[in-house]
Amino acid sequence: MTTSRSTTGLTETGATSWAPSVATAARHPSPPHDACGGQLTGLSGEITSPRYPESYPNDAECRWSIGAPDGGTPLTLVFVDFQVEGGQGCGFDYVAVFDGPTAAAPGLGRYCGSARPPRTVSSTPHLLVLFKSDFNIAHSHQRGFRFAFTFSFRNFSSPRYPNFYPNNLQCQWSIQLPPGYRVRIFFLDMDLEGRSSLTGGCDYDHVAAFDGGAENGSLLGQWCGQDSPAPITSRSNWVLLMLHTDRNTAKRGFSIAYVGGDQLQQLKRHHPVPAPQDAPALLAHG
């Protein structure tokens, strides 16, 4: 099957680095090196809490207002990592998401603890992400969070997800973008048969990613169990993902999102780049 055109654009490298084309919001009373929040208008990006992955500061208040550059496209928000002080009703430290540019918009969720928030899709071309921490962190280390936003996430999952996948599978997903672009993959959920007790490797059920669109390409990673991989970026415009299951022990499987972009330009220059003119292809069989 063929997906619609992938867009690409701005990558925000945390809470303290900004693109020249992005207007930053008014700073809240935190130490200068912990300044955070801003107005985001790129086609895609990644945001982290202050000091991530180290413990975030006390008394922080960060507001990221994300708007579609064309003024009319809903956006998708995915939390890649999440660890915020918990508490009943998330009354201490929390992340809140609003379906609009301000906190007066309808709330889409309020999150704390270590459970990763669900994937969120706006009903408007704007989202506000609000992070607040109180004067005290109950535990010695809370690394905060990392989330990605885009107007062009594509998703796929293992067969029958979130129910148990079948045994004896050999499935392949081929993601191909126009030349000059790369593939950024986010692992939203993973629950496969665990590692071998003898070798410590993923000898049974596993998912693997190869650069270049073929099994003889460079291995980007192999995962199993309840691994929570960091996002991966291809070195070429083509990625092959493979799921292998044996005849025993089935689990829930996995859910993956991906976005296309000129990652080298994004990481080096931090400003929007043109969207590819050709549609990315996602070919799946298994």
Confidence label for 262 from pLDDT (cuts 50, 70 and 90): low
**Do 45 and 116 have their domain in common?**
yes
**Do 172 and 257 have their domain in common?**
yes
Give domain status of residue 6, yes or no.
no
In this prediction, residues 49-69 reach a mean pLDDT of: 91
**Do 167 and 138 have their domain in common?**
no
* pLDDT value of residue 71: 66
**Do 103 and 209 have their domain in common?**
no
* pLDDT value of residue 257: 86
* pLDDT value of residue 180: 82
* pLDDT value of residue 7: 28
**Do 146 and 42 have their domain in common?**
yes
75 to each of 24, 153, 159, 271, how far by Cα in Å? 20, 9, 26, 19
Confidence label for 17 from pLDDT (cuts 50, 70 and 90): very low
- Is the per-residue pLDDT at 75 higher than 90? no
**Do 122 and 176 have their domain in common?**
no
**pLDDT tens digits along 176-193:** 988 888 898 989 899 999
State which residues form the domain around 210: 154-285
- Is the per-residue pLDDT at 13 higher than 50? no
**Do 91 and 131 have their domain in common?**
yes
**pLDDT tens digits along 103-152:** 999 999 999 999 999 989 899 889 999 999 998 865 568 899 999 888 77
Confidence label for 68 from pLDDT (cuts 50, 70 and 90): confident
Give domain status of residue 7, yes or no.
no
The total number of structural domains in the chain stands at 2
7: buried, middle or exposed (CB in 10 Å: 19+, 13-18, 0-12)?
A: buried
| Closest to 45 in 3D by CA, of 149, 152, 186 | 149
* pLDDT value of residue 139: 59
* pLDDT value of residue 235: 93
- Is the per-residue pLDDT at 11 higher than 50? no
Confidence label for 20 from pLDDT (cuts 50, 70 and 90): very low
| Closest to 78 in 3D by CA, of 231, 272, 275 | 231
Give domain status of residue 4, yes or no.
no
- Which of 117, 150, 183 is the endpoint of a domain? 150
In this prediction, residues 15-22 reach a mean pLDDT of: 26
CATH number at residue 129: 2.60.120.290
Give domain status of residue 3, yes or no.
no
In this prediction, residues 219-248 reach a mean pLDDT of: 94
Give domain status of residue 24, yes or no.
no
**pLDDT tens digits along 35-49:** 799 988 776 788 999
Residue of 74 and 128 predicted with greater confidence: 128
**Do 144 and 158 have their domain in common?**
no
In this prediction, residues 146-160 reach a mean pLDDT of: 87
**Do 261 and 228 have their domain in common?**
yes
**Do 270 and 169 have their domain in common?**
yes
* pLDDT value of residue 182: 87
- Is the per-residue pLDDT at 286 higher than 80? no
* β 107-111/238-244 pair status: unpaired
Give domain status of residue 160, yes or no.
yes
**Do 72 and 112 have their domain in common?**
yes
- Which of 98, 126, 150 is the endpoint of a domain? 150
Confidence label for 201 from pLDDT (cuts 50, 70 and 90): very high
* pLDDT value of residue 279: 37
- Which of 132, 150, 168 is the endpoint of a domain? 150
Q: Are 148 and 243 within 8 A, CB to CB?
A: no
Q: Are 263 and 233 within 8 A, CB to CB?
A: yes
- Is the per-residue pLDDT at 252 higher than 90? yes
Give domain status of residue 114, yes or no.
yes
Give domain status of residue 209, yes or no.
yes
**pLDDT tens digits along 81-110:** 999 998 888 999 999 999 999 999 999 999
Q: Are 258 and 183 within 8 A, CB to CB?
A: yes
**Do 166 and 118 have their domain in common?**
no
* DSSP codes of every residue in the chain: -BPPPP-------SSS---TTSPPPPPPSS-GGG---EEE-SSEEEEE-TTTTSPPPTT-EEEEEEE-TTS----EEEEEEEEB---GGG-SSEEEEESSSSTTSPEEEEE-BSSPPPPEE-SSSEEEEEEE--S--SSS---EEEEEEES--EEEESTTTTSPPPSS-EEEEEEE--TT-EEEEEEEEEE-----TTT-S--SSEEEEEETSSTTS-EEEEE-TT--PPPEE-SSSEEEEEEE--SS----EEEEEEEEE-HHHHHHH-S--PPPSSPPEEEEE-
